[in-house]
Amino acid sequence: MKQIAANPVYKFLLFPVGQIILFALGASVILSLVTVLLAYLFKSNFIDFDLVERIMLILPQVIINGLTIGFVYSTIALGYTMVYGVLEFINFSHSEIFMVGGIVGIQLMAYFEHTGALATMNEYLVIALAIVLALIVSGSLAVIVERTAYKPLRGAPKLVPLISAIGMSFFLQDLVRLILSLTTGEFNVILPKFGTYDEFWKLAVPGMEDPLRIQIKSALIVGIAILMLVILNFLVNGTKVGKAIRAVAQDRPSASLMGINVNQIISITFLIGGALGGAAGVLFALKATKLDPFSGFFPGLKAFTSAVLGGIGNLTGALLGGLVLGLLESFAASYLGIFTNGAFGAEYKDIFAFAILIVVLIFRPSGLLGQTVGQKA
């Protein structure tokens, strides 16, 4: 057993991937079961149609949508949770770092479209380039933000850096708007059309009339997100820098006595978190197809909710939290309208996350996978 656990292939590839699949499947199955159960319970209230059948009909699509957005949330949530782990503070501007990544990615594609290269380039290469650029830009931006707005405040009372972070979030929103407005005269950015990733794979499922339709885009988003999660897992658990990050998170003075340059490690944490956020921004942009300087706000908040849901400061927790939240949101958006006969619908999905956040904080303030944070009251 010990032998297997120490094997790097197992430790850094099989185990994390297995964990991700387990979380994704587990959360999907549990939520589906609950929904179907509810459908059976309330079946008699609906005379015009068979509630269970209607729910089963769209279930696969609901799960796929939920997982797609869930992986995006997870990737963003990791940025929150890493910074929280190291500095114990909510990096409010992370939602803008994420937004900047998305916009930079779209702008690169728009540039390729402008030069005419987009039509001839391999679509996956385009996406890869956009992600790489977003990784670099968002990662550097996160470091700059940390150096200018947070580092001078180290050691100040907790509210002080938090307020600075809120200020940074607002500042960045309008700064991006200003830059976009001055350079393009327009602050909405729209994903250019290219390639075939918008199309669907059709899988015939025995026992079902219609084939299961999986958008290539969804699979792509999930695949890239998993790849990044695996890389992150390796960085944090398998490298010296990763160990140093964990050491700094646990005991900053001791870490400095080990010869760890704490400021540098904090910057690296922001770099990694920001880069992940930027990549998530591109993934989100592929899904949303349109971004503006303010579109980081809601995904950012939901990702933070995911981080808390999973247990803030806990990387595995952020992954699980994001998946659960994405699925919950997708289920709520699709089924709330059906269950309430149209009285409440998808328009409430944005605040659904907060309801969950409040419930979690009341009943399990340390999150699903719990860690360190609970308060003595």
Partner 1 sequence: MGTLLELTNVHSYYGHIHALKGVSLHVNEGEIVTLIGSNGAGKSTTLRTISGMIHPKEGKVELAGENISNLDAHRIVTKGVGHVPEGRGIFPKLTVQENLDMGAYTVNDQKTIKDRMELVYQTFPRLKERVAQYGGTLSGGEQQMLAIGRGLMLNPRILMLDEPSMGLAPVLVDLIFDTIKKLNEQGTTILLVEQNALMALSIANRGYVLQTGSIVLTDDAAKLKKNEMVQKTYLGIE
Partner 2 sequence: MNTFFSDLYKKANTGFWPVVIAFAFLVVGTISVYLNPRSLFAFLTLLTTPVILYFMKIDTKVKVFIGLLLLIVILPVLGIRNIFYLEVIFQMAVFSALALGLNIVIGMAGLLDLGYVAFYAVGAYAWAIFGSKQMSLLHSIPGAAPANAEFFLDARWFWLFIFLGVGLAALMGILLGLPVLRVKGDYLAIVTLGFGEVIRVLALNLDKPLNLTNGPQGITPIQRPPLPGVVQALGNALTPLVGHVPTEAEIYNVFFYFLALIIIGIAIVVATRLEDSRIGRAWTAIREDETAAIAMGIPLVKMKLAAFAAGASFAGAMGAVYAANRTFVSPETFSFQVSIGVLTMVILGGLGSIPGVIFGASAVTLLNIQILQNFSLYLSDLRQSDAVIPIINFPWKNLSNQLDPAKYQKLVFGLILILMMIFRPSGLIPAARRQRELGDEKEAE
Judged by the rule CB under 8 A, the positions of this chain that interact with partner 2 are 89-90, 149, 152-153, 156-164, 166-175, 177-178, 181-182, 185-187, 297, 301, 304-305, 308, 343, 347-348, 350-351, 353-355, 357-358, 361-362, 365, 373, 375-377
Q: Is 258 in the site for partner 1 (CB under 8 A)?
A: yes
Q: Is 315 in the site for partner 1 (CB under 8 A)?
A: no
Q: Is 244 in the site for partner 1 (CB under 8 A)?
A: yes
**Distances 338 to 32, 35, 42, 271 between C-alpha atoms, Å:** 15, 12, 11, 43
Closest by Cα among 304, 321, 299, 324 to 367: 321
Q: Is 122 in the site for partner 1 (CB under 8 A)?
A: no
Cβ-count burial of 301 within 10 angstroms (0-12 exposed, 13-18 middle, 19+ buried)? middle
CA atoms of 61 and 267, how far apart (whole Å)? 40
Q: Is 257 in the site for partner 1 (CB under 8 A)?
A: yes
- E strands within the chain? 189-190, 200-203, 212-215, 290-291
Residue 178 interacts with which of partner 1, partner 2, none, CB < 5 to 8 Å by class: partner 2
Q: Is 247 in the site for partner 1 (CB under 8 A)?
A: yes
Q: Is 155 in the site for partner 1 (CB under 8 A)?
A: no
Within 261-280, the residues that bind partner 1 by CB under 8 A are: 261-262
Closest by Cα among 243, 163, 239 to 8: 239
CA atoms of 329 and 320, how far apart (whole Å)? 14
CA atoms of 248 and 265, how far apart (whole Å)? 8
Query: To the nearest whole angstrom, how small is the minimum distance from the Cβ of residue 283 to partner 2?
Result: 23
Residue 240 interacts with which of partner 1, partner 2, none, CB < 5 to 8 Å by class: partner 1
CA atoms of 323 and 310, how far apart (whole Å)? 10
Count of residues touching partner 1 (by CB under 8 A)? 17
CA atoms of 367 and 360, how far apart (whole Å)? 7
Q: Is 325 in the site for partner 1 (CB under 8 A)?
A: no
Q: Is 254 in the site for partner 1 (CB under 8 A)?
A: yes
Q: Is 260 in the site for partner 1 (CB under 8 A)?
A: yes
**Distances 337 to 260, 340, 344 between C-alpha atoms, Å:** 54, 5, 5
Residues across the chain = 377
Residue 7 interacts with which of partner 2, partner 1, none, CB < 5 to 8 Å by class: none
Query: To the nearest whole angstrom, how small is the minimum distance from the Cβ of residue 98 to partner 2?
Result: 16
Q: Is 309 in the site for partner 1 (CB under 8 A)?
A: no
The residue from 246, 294, 348, 368 that contacts partner 1 (CB under 8 A) is 246
Question: Which lies closer to partner 2 via its Cβ, residue 116 or residue 157?
Answer: 157
The widest CA-to-CA distance across the chain, in whole angstroms, is 71
Kindly list the residues in this chain that would bind partner 1 in the complex (CB under 8 A). 240, 243-244, 246-247, 250-251, 253-262
